[in-house]
């Protein structure tokens, strides 16, 4: 008789990938995340990312670190030793203020963040918005322009 638990659901490929991604975030290991996210089809990538975000929902430090990873601020383990990661810090601030990564804001390659939920951003305390505007180059775009940028970035990521 197997020790895996009779009648219990066995972990799926996605379950295993999510567990590995969460572990890599906790250990701050971007190379391991590269092995996961760089080798999956786009649809599977989306599912793994969504489940990873859910698993990390209560861990603001790991969640903001993951945003820094997706913004290309953290590309190698040695980047963890750098004293200042602006996108990671901004992500942490936005998360603490109630914004959700990949829902209300999106980290992008090239150390960028796009605010997806303008209303939620505008509802943030004035001091938070002022800090964001002071520390970052804030550029407003139309919905059509944002969509065009999103599509171009997605094509970049699919290669």
**Helix residue ranges, H only, 5-101:** 13-26, 30-37, 42-55, 60-70, 86-96
Residue 1 lies in a domain: no
Residue 150 lies in a domain: yes
- For the chain, how many structural domains are there in total? 1
Which residues constitute the domain of residue 73?
A: 13-158
Residue 7 lies in a domain: no
Query: Can you tell me the distance from the alpha carbon of 13 to that of 80, in angstroms, rounded to the nearest whole number?
Result: 29
* Position with higher pLDDT, 149 vs 103: 103
Using one digit for the tens of pLDDT, what is the confidence trace for 102-131?
A: 999 889 888 888 888 889 999 999 998 888
What percentage of the chain reaches a pLDDT higher than 70?
84
* Position with higher pLDDT, 8 vs 122: 122
User: Considering only 22-26, 34-38, 53-57, 152-156, which range has the smallest mean pLDDT?
Assistant: 152-156
Angle between helices 143-158 and 42-55 (to 10 degrees): 110
């Amino acid at each position: 008789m197997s020790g895996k638990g009779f009648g219990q659901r066995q972990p799926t490929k996605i379950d295993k990938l999510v567990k590995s991604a969460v572990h890599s975030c906790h250990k701050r290991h971007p190379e391991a995340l590269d092995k996961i996210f760089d080798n999956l089809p786009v649809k599977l990538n989306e599912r793994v990312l969504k489940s990873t975000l859910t698993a990390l929902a209560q861990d603001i430090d790991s969640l903001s670190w993951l945003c820094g990873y997706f913004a290309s601020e953290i590309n190698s383990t040695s980047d963890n030793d750098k004293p200042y990661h602006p996108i990671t810090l901004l992500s942490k601030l936005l998360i603490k203020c109630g914004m959700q990564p990949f829902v209300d804001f999106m980290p992008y390659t090239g150390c960028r963040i796009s605010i997806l939920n303008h209303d939620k951003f505008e509802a943030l305390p004035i001091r938070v918005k002022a800090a964001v505007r002071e520390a970052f180059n804030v550029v407003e775009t139309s919905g059509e322009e944002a969509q065009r940028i999103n599509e171009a970035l997605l094509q970049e990521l699919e290669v």
